[in-house]
């Protein structure tokens, strides 16, 4: 007689299955399990089976990268497919300073690896260090200029190991967590001192190559691994391994602009280093500290590792770029990459890349060049990469929420909770990524689900882009929304804030009028307001493509704007599901540009069951509104 198969791991179900099994034995057919001491043995057996099944299930889950939860297991599984998770990244700043040698007999000045400055950030003071010595030759006036010195936020530390091959399991583990692995420097000292380089790829590696590997182990610490005299040189027995590195605070070090010198300067005289303690100028900051980042998260490792493996570290398709770029540069919130063949007109042989950084709105030119140079190792010859700054597509809502006052005692509290819910949705993964989509049905449902006292909501959406004018220059402008526009035949589907142009003193506004011969295109019109009514001054100031979601303004000289350095241009979308395409990034605007109104549902509350006094809000945007 075979034992029942366990199809459920619930304790009660296991207990019932054990009883059913025992009842199949003729000796226990009519046995009262609940009324005897036998029930204790059954409970013990069921509990043991439950714990064993749970532990087995958890152990099996930790064997696969998709289901593993412990960081050391995820990192180990990623390592099996050649993926090395990013370490914590130190914020990097650039500084300049001069050293006046005051007739010292110095042919060169050395800034020693280690602590260099103390930087001031809003949250406190942080130490900044350099991982390598920097040597500068003074000019004819005895001035040694240190220009654009990259300093890393964190403490500079050293650790030494003695190679002993009598220990079969000897490992070289750095005792600190929070290490920026890009700052690790390794040297091996025996009869001579050899500097080892970080392994990058297997090509051109010989038995004499002085290379080392870094891999993450438990507790976010790192192990240094050397070659075996086949792939890379193996350190000699008894030699000393010296490892230096910087332990950093990561993202907390961003934003330092003011620095005070505290480094070690010296010059060589008679074969000895002589310290320099005077003649050091004030430090000037070329670039404030940026790009500090936390260690790569478990979720990110689980997402990127199989995709990097699938790309085989080659950038061929757009998906390859989307996977590789976060691997090369960690301070990334989202990446968009698309081939030039997808554009209209197509641009063959190009890949367009847009990056949304975690900190700030745009990447600096230095960071773009860093990523571009690192991509060269993986890209196919003949394909040119172009970085395009992201463009924000703002979505504004106008929501009228009906509620039953018998369930809602505090109207202001309901208003606050609805706004917090919308703000939480604005930060969700649905929206906050390239290719993200604002889902209208989801937005309206989360509003309804804030409280059971909410009976309905009428929510309308508008899209907005900010035009950044070139003041006092004749220029044309192209504003793309990436989504179809609604095209009401009477126009005013487009509205703007005011601005002034050369030759006209009144405030100018932008609107549109569809072309009678085609519903897909229209004209841009400029107008002023005369007693609240539009007075058109240019009926052909540009063109609009409703199908593509594109506005083009013909050459014009803008002299000023009512808003600071921008003109806000809003449009009515054809669909309330709004998508971010190419280099557009959706921002659900939860500031004063969006509106929330609460009205009592007098039908649901019972105060007007007939509904004769209830006027529901409109589901359409009023086209009689001329300006933004």
Residue ending a domain, choose from 22, 46, 61:
61
Which of 212, 208, 190, 184 shows the shortest CA–CA distance to 200? 212
Determine, yes or no, domain membership for 106.
Answer: yes
Cα separation, 220 vs 70, whole angstroms? 12
Do 357 and 214 share a domain, yes or no? no
Do 109 and 224 share a domain, yes or no? no
Q: Residue-wise over 532-560: b if at least 16 C-beta within 10 A, else e?
A: eebeeebeebbbbbbebbbbebeebebee
Determine, yes or no, domain membership for 68.
Answer: no
pLDDT in tens, 355-381: 888 777 788 888 888 888 888 878 877
Q: What is the mean pLDDT of residues 36-62?
A: 82
Give the pLDDT score at 5.
57
Is residue 555 over pLDDT 90? yes
Determine, yes or no, domain membership for 300.
Answer: no
Give the pLDDT score at 1.
42
495's enclosing H/E stretch is strand 494-496
Determine, yes or no, domain membership for 303.
Answer: no
Cis preceding-peptide flag for 345 (omega within 30 of 0) = yes
Do 44 and 190 share a domain, yes or no? no
Do 22 and 121 share a domain, yes or no? no
Q: What is the mean pLDDT of residues 184-205?
A: 86
Among the listed ranges 164-168, 462-466, 474-478, 523-527, which one has the minimum average pLDDT value?
A: 164-168
Written as six digits, the tokens of 274 are: 């002589």
Q: What is the mean pLDDT of residues 490-498?
A: 91
Determine, yes or no, domain membership for 70.
Answer: no
Determine, yes or no, domain membership for 83.
Answer: no
Give the pLDDT score at 8.
62
Do 507 and 599 share a domain, yes or no? yes
Q: What is the mean pLDDT of residues 25-46?
A: 72
Do 427 and 480 share a domain, yes or no? yes
Among the listed ranges 48-57, 257-266, 475-484, which one has the minimum average pLDDT value?
A: 48-57
- For residues 326 and 332, the answer to whether their CB atoms sit within 8 Å is yes
pLDDT in tens, 79-98: 888 888 889 999 999 999 99
Among the listed ranges 45-59, 134-148, 416-430, which one has the minimum average pLDDT value?
A: 45-59
Give the pLDDT score at 246.
95
Give the pLDDT score at 609.
67
Q: How sure is the predictor about 448, in pLDDT bands with cuts at 50, 70 and 90?
A: very high
Determine, yes or no, domain membership for 82.
Answer: no
Q: What is the mean pLDDT of residues 385-390?
A: 86
Cα separation, 471 vs 69, whole angstroms? 54
Is residue 346 over pLDDT 60? yes
Compute the mean pLDDT over every residue in the chain, rounded to the nearest whole number: 87
Give the pLDDT score at 17.
78
Is residue 315 over pLDDT 90? no
Q: How sure is the predictor about 556, in pLDDT bands with cuts at 50, 70 and 90?
A: very high
Do 443 and 429 share a domain, yes or no? yes
Determine, yes or no, domain membership for 241.
Answer: yes
Q: Cβ-count burial of 256 within 10 angstroms (0-12 exposed, 13-18 middle, 19+ buried)?
A: buried
Q: What is the mean pLDDT of residues 507-516?
A: 91
Do 431 and 555 share a domain, yes or no? yes
CA torsion angle 525 530 533 539 (round to 10): -20
* Domain encompassing residue 46: 11-61
Do 172 and 98 share a domain, yes or no? no
309's enclosing H/E stretch is helix 298-311
Is residue 204 over pLDDT 50? yes
Coil, strand or helix at 275:
strand
pLDDT in tens, 221-235: 999 999 888 888 999
Give the pLDDT score at 527.
94
Q: What is the mean pLDDT of residues 324-335?
A: 82
Cα separation, 128 vs 115, whole angstroms? 6
Do 599 and 623 share a domain, yes or no? yes
Q: What is the mean pLDDT of residues 247-269?
A: 91
What DSSP character marks residue 11? H
Cα separation, 450 vs 407, whole angstroms? 12
Compute the chain's Rg from CA coordinates: 33
Q: What is the mean pLDDT of residues 555-571?
A: 93
Place of tokens 């034992």: 3
Do 283 and 412 share a domain, yes or no? no
Do 536 and 627 share a domain, yes or no? yes
**How many domains is the chain partitioned into structurally?**
5
Domain of 337: which CATH number?
Answer: 3.30.300.200
Q: How sure is the predictor about 266, in pLDDT bands with cuts at 50, 70 and 90?
A: very high
């Amino acid at each position: 007689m075979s034992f029942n198969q366990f199809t459920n791991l619930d304790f009660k179900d296991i207990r019932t299955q054990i009883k059913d099994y025992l009842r199949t034995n003729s000796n226990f057919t009519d046995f009262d399990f609940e009324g005897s001491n036998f029930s204790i043995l059954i409970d013990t057996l069921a509990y043991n089976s439950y714990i064993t099944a749970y532990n087995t299930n958890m152990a099996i889950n930790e064997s696969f990268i998709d289901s593993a939860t412990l960081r050391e297991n995820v990192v180990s599984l990623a390592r099996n497919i050649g993926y090395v998770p990013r370490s914590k990244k130190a914020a990097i700043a650039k500084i300049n300073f001069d050293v006046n040698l005051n007739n010292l007999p110095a042919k060169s000045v050395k800034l020693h690896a280690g602590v260099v400055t103390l930087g001031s950030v809003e949250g406190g003071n942080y130490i900044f260090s350099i991982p390598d010595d920097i040597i500068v030759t003074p000019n004819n006036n005895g001035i040694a200029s240190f220009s654009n010195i990259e300093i890393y936020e964190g403490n500079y530390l050293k650790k030494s190991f003695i190679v002993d091959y009598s220990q079969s399991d000897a490992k070289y583990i750095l005792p600190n967590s929070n290490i920026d692995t890009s700052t690790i420097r390794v040297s091996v000292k025996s009869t001579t001192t050899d500097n080892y380089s970080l392994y990058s790829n297997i090509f051109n590696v010989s038995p004499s190559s002085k290379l080392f590997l870094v891999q993450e182990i438990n507790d976010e610490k790192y192990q240094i691994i050397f070659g075996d005299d086949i792939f890379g040189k193996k350190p000699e027995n008894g030699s000393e391994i010296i490892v230096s590195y910087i332990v950093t605070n990561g993202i907390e070090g961003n934003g330092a602009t003011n620095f005070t010198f505290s480094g070690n300067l010296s010059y060589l005289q008679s074969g000895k280093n002589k310290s320099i303690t005077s003649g050091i100028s004030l430090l000037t900051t070329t670039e404030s500290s940026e790009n500090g980042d936390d260690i790569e998260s478990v979720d990110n490792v689980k997402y990127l590792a199989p995709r990097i493996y699938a790309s085989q570290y080659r950038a061929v398709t757009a998906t390859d770029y989307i996977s590789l770029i976060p691997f090369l540069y960690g301070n990334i919130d989202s990446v968009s990459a698309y081939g030039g063949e997808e554009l209209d007109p197509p641009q063959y042989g190009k890949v367009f890349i847009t990056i949304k950084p975690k900190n700030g709105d745009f990447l600096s030119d230095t960071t773009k060049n860093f990523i571009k140079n690192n991509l060269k190792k993986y890209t196919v010859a003949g394909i040119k990469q172009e970085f395009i700054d992201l463009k924000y597509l703002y979505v504004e809502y106008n929501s009228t929420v009906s509620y039953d006052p018998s369930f809602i005692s505090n109207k202001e509290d309901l208003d606050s909770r609805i706004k917090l819910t919308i703000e939480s949705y604005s930060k969700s993964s649905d929206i906050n990524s390239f290719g993200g989509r604002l889902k209208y049905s989801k937005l309206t449902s989360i509003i309804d689900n804030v409280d059971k006292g909410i009976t309905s909501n009428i929510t309308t959406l508008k899209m907005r882009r900010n035009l950044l004018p070139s003041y006092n220059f004749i220029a044309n402008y192209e504003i793309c929304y990436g989504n179809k526009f609604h095209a009401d035949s009477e126009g005013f589907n487009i509205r703007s804030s005011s601005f002034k142009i050369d030759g006209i003193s009144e405030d100018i506004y932008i609107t549109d009028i569809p072309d009678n011969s085609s519903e897909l295109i229209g004209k841009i019109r400029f107008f002023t307001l005369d007693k609240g009514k539009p007075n058109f001054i240019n009926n052909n100031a540009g063109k609009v493509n409703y199908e593509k979601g594109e506005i083009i303004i013909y050459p014009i000289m803008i002299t000023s704007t009512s808003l600071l350095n921008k003109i806000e241009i809003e449009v009515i979308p054809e669909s309330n599901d709004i998508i971010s395409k190419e280099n557009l990034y959706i921002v659900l605007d939860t500031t004063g540009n969006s509106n929330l109104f609460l009205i009592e549902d007098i039908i649901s509350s019972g105060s007007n069951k007939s509904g004769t006094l209830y006027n529901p809000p409109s589901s359409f945007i009023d086209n009689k509104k001329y300006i933004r």
